[in-house]
Amino acid sequence: MNWEKVILITGGAGFIGSHVVRLFVKSYPNYRVVNFDKLTYAGNLENLKDIENATNYEFVKGDICEIDDIIDVFEKYKVTDVIHLAAESHVDRSISGPMEFVLSNVVGTVNLMNVAKNVWKLIDNNVFYHISTDEVYGSLGDIGYFKETTSYDPRSPYSASKASSDHFVRAYFHTYNFPIKISNCSNNYGSYQFPEKLIPLMIHNAVNKKDLPIYGNGLNIRDWLWVEDHANAIDLIFHKGKIGETYNIGGLNEWTNINLVKKIANIIDEKLGRQAGETEKQITFIKDRAGHDKRYAIDASKIESELGWTPSIDFETGLNNTIDWYLNNSEWLEKVISGDYQSYYENQYLNRD
Ligand code: NAD
Ligand code: DAU
């Protein structure tokens, strides 16, 4: 087959990556989609069962920290474009072990660009699209929004590693004319998210009558983005965004953690036929996350006005869909937490006051 493009999607077995892989495999039969993933605790091929036999899909197990793994996949598949999502993504893990974040998020990103830069002659329409986070901008007070022009002020080892990789990506554009695009988005939610992150963790614990651990006073604010809306935004930016540009993506959907967890608890009461208010009793306030950023909120007006993107569903619908998905996919959930996750989780929470 003469593929129109061969897109290497790194981190395609993770939460957002699996949605991006699925969208591209289904929407673009003329593209070959190569999912390149190390399969860390967060990467699960279970996330892609429905498309694993598609003729335009390949999976390659590899590590972006290993230059030979990257060279091999570029040579074998003649990669024309990269959508780079592979990263260590959990802030709490970056606090207890920052070095993995430096390696995968910073060194891995530079490795990938070095191989692409050597292989691509930079005369074709290649794209290296780097997926980043709003956390690089730091923490907001009660008012204001992160814009593409907001200064970087990362405050956790995770966000410092993502900020560093963003700087390298832009430096390659300016120095080598390397064809990059970047997007920075807010907190994603939806199906296939590893249950260490707030929403799936709370659903899992609520259903299983475990504590619902709220860090600090629960008044920190996040701006929640439906993962499929994020995947659509990535599709738009990949195809229509300008080389060298950055786009912010957000849900226009701010929630304090405590109100969000109460909402999840109330929906679970309804869906499981529990008494109103029963699940909320599982809420437990625990020691705050070190350096906990107060508020994130994205100004998404650039991608809306330049590329015509808007969120497709409201939060009520998205959250209900997400809870239904977790209730209907307990087998997936048990599989992904069956490794060493339980002992990690117990260390993380049970040793905290
Ligand atoms: P995730 O943790 O669910 O998945 C990360 C994937 O990367 C996993 O499949 C893992 O196996 C793979 N990976 C990790 N290290 C690797 C390595 N060295 N080599 C190859 N593969 C490796 O992450 P996610 O939540 O899907 O996030 C994807 C990207 O989006 C990340 O770059 C993250 O920083 C960014 N992001 C995430 C969010 C969010 O809310 N989840 C928001 C903004 C930005
Ligand atoms: O903003 C984008 C970022 O969102 C991404 O770049 C990260 O990869 C992603 O993990 C996410 O980071 P957060 O730290 O915001 O997400 P998390 O789900 O870990 O936590 C959301 C909020 O909930 C945060 O204020 C911490 C709080 N929290 C989290 C957990 C896991 C709790 O109160 N209790 C918990 O058990």
Confidence band of 276 (pLDDT split at 50, 70, 90): very high
Helix (H, G, I), strand (E, B) or coil at 83: strand
Phi–psi pair at 144, nearest 5 degrees:
95, 165
Exposed/middle/buried for residue 347 (C-beta within 10 Å: 0-12, 13-18, 19+): exposed
Is 55's pLDDT higher than 70? yes
Its sign, for the CA torsion 301, 303, 308, 314, is negative
Residue 318 DSSP one-character state: H
pLDDT at 351: 58
Residues 268 and 279 sit within 8 Å (Cβ to Cβ): yes
Instruction: Give the Cα separation of 33 and 81 in Å (integer).
Output: 10
Give pLDDT tens digits for 121-165: 866 789 999 999 999 999 999 999 999 999 999 999 999 999 999
Give pLDDT tens digits for 211-221: 999 999 999 99
Q: Is 172 one of the annotated active-site residues of the chain? A: no
Q: Is 4 one of the annotated active-site residues of the chain? A: no
Mean pLDDT for the stretch of residues 83-100: 98
pLDDT at 251: 87
Residues 6+ apart with CB under 8 A from 250: 134, 146, 185, 186, 223, 225, 297, 298, 299, 300
Tell me which residues have their CB closer than 6 angstroms to ligand 2.
89-91, 133-135, 186-187, 197-198, 201, 213-215, 220, 222, 257, 289, 296
Residue of 132, 141, 98, 161 lying closest to 293 (CA atoms): 141
Domain boundaries, the chain: 5-189+225-249
Is 353's pLDDT higher than 60? no
Give whole-number Cα distances, 119 to 12, 70, 116, in Å.
22, 11, 5
Give pLDDT tens digits for 9-28: 999 999 999 999 999 999 99
Is 348's pLDDT higher than 80? no
Exposed/middle/buried for residue 71 (C-beta within 10 Å: 0-12, 13-18, 19+): middle
List the catalytic residue out of 129, 158, 172, 326: 158
Ligand 1 proximity of 63 Cβ (cutoff 6 Å):
yes
**Biggest distance spanned by C-alpha atoms of the chain:** 64
Residues 203 and 268 sit within 8 Å (Cβ to Cβ): yes
Exposed/middle/buried for residue 68 (C-beta within 10 Å: 0-12, 13-18, 19+): exposed
pLDDT at 121: 80
CA dihedral of 218, 250, 85, 236, whole degrees rounded to 10: 170
Residues 227 and 15 sit within 8 Å (Cβ to Cβ): yes
Give pLDDT tens digits for 159-217: 999 999 999 999 999 999 999 999 999 999 999 999 999 999 999 999 999 999 999 99
Residues 91 and 132 sit within 8 Å (Cβ to Cβ): no
Nearest ligand, CA 230: 1
- % residues pLDDT > 90 (the chain): 92
Q: Which residues pair with 254 in a beta bridge?
A: 223
Nearest ligand, CA 204: 2
Helix (H, G, I), strand (E, B) or coil at 161: helix
Give the distance (Å) from ligand 2 centre to CA of residue 323: 17
Taking the alpha carbons at both ends of the chain, their separation in whole angstroms is 58
Q: Which of 101, 159, 222 to mutate to test the pocket of ligand 2 (most atoms within 8 A of CB)?
A: 222
Residues 72 and 8 sit within 8 Å (Cβ to Cβ): no
Residue 122 DSSP one-character state: S
Q: Which CATH class is domain 5-189+225-249?
A: alpha beta
Question: How high does pLDDT run on average in the chain?
Answer: 96
Is 347's pLDDT higher than 80? no
Give pLDDT tens digits for 317-338: 999 999 999 999 999 999 998 8
pLDDT at 79: 97
Residue of 216, 224, 272 lying closest to 249 (CA atoms): 224
List the catalytic residue out of 134, 196, 228, 229: 134
The alpha-helical segments, DSSP class H, found in 208-294 are 227-240, 257-272
Mean pLDDT for the stretch of residues 95-107: 98
